[in-house]
Amino acid sequence: MNSPSTDESKIVLITGSSSGIGEATARRLAADGHQVVLGARRVDRLAALSDKIRAAGGRADYQQLDVTSIDDVRNFAERAHQRYGRVDVLVNNAGVMPLSRVDALRVDDWNQMIDVNLRGTLHGIAAVLPLMRARGAGHIVNVASTSAHRVDPTAAVYCATKYAVRALSEGLRQESRDIRVTVISPGYTHSELADHGGDPEVRAAVRAASDQLAIPASTVADAIGYAVAQPENVDVSEVIIRPTAQG
């Protein structure tokens, strides 16, 4: 583990850190010497990851969190603020991708994507922005997607949520002179994202493409680590990181 000076060590909250990109980001930022605070619904996973990070010399704790609940997200941020005295970075990473054609009318899946991917990101911003504004510093990292840049059949609603996250991030960036805003837009990345929900045929096709193309979650975590490591006056506004072979 690196040991940055107290000044450089940050308090970093990460939603959706029980698997995939969030888990890799927690490992990477803890290895960089930051205090990570993990949040997701599967609290057993968070406890196990927290133990592993601590066993490796890092600093981690965790809290069960459903990003669709503003109360949960506020509690997550406020508890960290009380415990550590500040929140330096929020990584809004939690997301779901139950894909299907629009005419399949899987309305529950649409609502889940809106609630987790978009509303969850807004909840994260609502929870930390007042704390960051009061200090005049902070960094919000929103995980969007290459699906925030192009639309594909079966992904219309997922893309709509990710385009929205990118638009929201750009608006927040323009309104902020003291808070850094970063969008991380990955392409196919190894994770559990394609394992849950949506049309089973679409899910199998995405899983096959991902198995063929996907880059490790640690490469996305490295991009987040890069953005976090920049000086306060440098805003890495967006990083798109995808497999070389992805169209």
Hey, which residues are catalytic here? 158
Q: Do strands 179-186 and 138-143 pair parallel, antiparallel, or not at all (unpaired)?
A: parallel
Ordered DSSP codes for 188-239: SBSSSGGGSSS-HHHHHHHHHHHHHHPBPHHHHHHHHHHHHHS-TT----EE
- Report DSSP state, residue 119: I
In whole angstroms, how close is the CB of 106 to ligand NDP at the nearest point? 17
Report the residue number, 35 or 112, with the smaller CB distance to ligand NDP.
112
In whole angstroms, how close is the CB of 172 to ligand NDP at the nearest point? 17
In whole angstroms, how close is the CB of 162 to ligand NDP at the nearest point? 7
Q: Which two tokens stand for residue 61?
A: 């704790």
Q: Which two tokens stand for residue 6?
A: 């107290």
CA 21, 27, 140, 120 torsion-angle sign: positive
Q: Starting at the edge strand that comes first in sequence, how are the strands of the sheet with 138-143 ordered?
A: 59-64, 35-40, 11-15, 89-92, 138-143, 179-186, 238-241
In whole angstroms, how close is the CB of 20 to ligand NDP at the nearest point? 2
Q: Do strands 238-241 and 35-40 pair parallel, antiparallel, or not at all (unpaired)?
A: unpaired
Report the residue number, 139 or 158, with the smaller CB distance to ligand NDP.
158
Residue 171's CB: how many other CB atoms inside 10 A? 11
Report the residue number, 11 or 217, with the smaller CB distance to ligand NDP.
217
Residue 13's CB: how many other CB atoms inside 10 A? 29
Report the residue number, 178 or 192, with the smaller CB distance to ligand NDP.
192
In whole angstroms, how close is the CB of 7 to ligand NDP at the nearest point? 30
Residue matched to tokens 């930390």: 128
Contact residues: ligand NDP, CB under 6 A: 15-22, 40-42, 65-68, 93-97, 116, 143, 145, 186, 188-189, 191-193
Question: How far is residue 228's CA from residue 247's CA, in Å, rounded to a whole number?
Answer: 28
Report the residue number, 44 or 103, with the smaller CB distance to ligand NDP.
44
